[in-house]
Amino acid sequence: MSYNSKISQEDYEWSQESLKALDQYFSAHVIGQKPLERALIGAVIGNGHVLIESVPGLAKTTAARAVADSVRGRFSRIQCTPDLLPGDIIGTQIYRQDSGKFETVLGPVFANFVLLDEINRSSAKTQSAMLEAMAEKQVTIGGKSYPMPKETFIVFATQNPIEQEGTYPLSEAQEDRFLIKEKISYPTAEEEVNILNLVEEQEGQAKTEPVLNIEDVSRLQRITANVYCDPAIKSYIAAIVCATRMADQYLPTQMKGYVNLGASPRATIAFLKMSKAAALMQGRVFVTPDDIKFVAKQVLRHRIALRYIASADGINEDMIIDSLLATIRTP
């Protein structure tokens, strides 16, 4: 190993074999959606939560379950609705008449991988119930704190960008808790044919055995954290994030005035985590500027707040990010 790597040759070889096994498992259960696979696995080994935006039916639930099943992890799916209560997620206290005492019943959030389906359909109060779990890795019920699973706790949340009726958009603070935000689109016609073939093949088949266990995920996370990031790369990360806060100084004239709020320091941390994950998934033990550019939209698109005029003019966050990257010198 080079570049002052803290990763041993044994750990490196094991990580590459493990990531290849995860890729093969995912590909056997989900057709296409490679960006989603990279986002989910990258966030898992980077130890962060994922917000997924797409229209219904694009295999988000299948993909999340495939990740959980591939590592023998406990998986919970919570369908968010307007009448969902915080206690339905984190748990509550139930009075037992036979004993005359309250008993704490933990909710479905106590799992290694939690899928919050259509999170923007739940009320703001219910959304906020997840904040403590996501940020502090614990929840409080009846004044007592209960830690989340020690080995791995990852939240995959989905939202539908099309429907607005009966939805409660996530606040900026809530979105900022997610390590990345991934947008996925429809599969190609060829991929849809392959989906039909996969459905036929899986009819009546036994469940595929996991390729790793949950302890292996923790090991992958430790290896990812030890991927080398040069000080020049860290300065590049900081320059990009700072540019979002002074966007008008960097954007071309035709795009000035669109950015209302830049990214927080959480974006800087997310860049570091996801760029290390991207490097390891590419077979490297050091981060390059290309890794930063590769994860930039995932890291920043939910952390940049645009003014209404941007939407009216057909400008979105990804376009702003591309323009900013084009103006910042690459080390």
The predicted structure's pLDDT at residue 95: 84
How is residue 153 annotated by DSSP?
-
| Residue 215 covered by a domain | no
- Total domain count for the chain? 2
| Residues of the domain holding 274 | 228-327
Answer whether residue 191 shows pLDDT above 90: no
CA dihedral 103, 109, 110, 113 (to 10 degrees): 170
pTM of the model: 0.91
Assign residue 314 the CATH number of its domain. Answer: 1.10.8.80
- In this prediction, residues 271-280 reach a mean pLDDT of 97
Rounded distance between C-alpha atoms, residue 71 and residue 258, angstroms: 43
Q: In this structure, are 45 and 179 located in the same domain?
A: yes
Q: In this structure, are 49 and 117 located in the same domain?
A: yes
The predicted structure's pLDDT at residue 1: 46
Q: In this structure, are 91 and 175 located in the same domain?
A: yes
pLDDT in tens, 203-260: 766 678 899 999 999 999 999 999 999 999 999 999 999 999 999 999 998 899 999 9
| Residue 6 covered by a domain | no
| Residue 206 covered by a domain | no
CA 121 distance to own-chain centroid: 19
pLDDT in tens, 5-55: 689 999 999 999 999 999 999 988 888 888 999 999 999 999 999 999 988
Bridge pairing between strands 154-159 and 180-183? unpaired
Question: Which residue is it, tokens 């209302």?
Answer: 260
The predicted structure's pLDDT at residue 163: 62
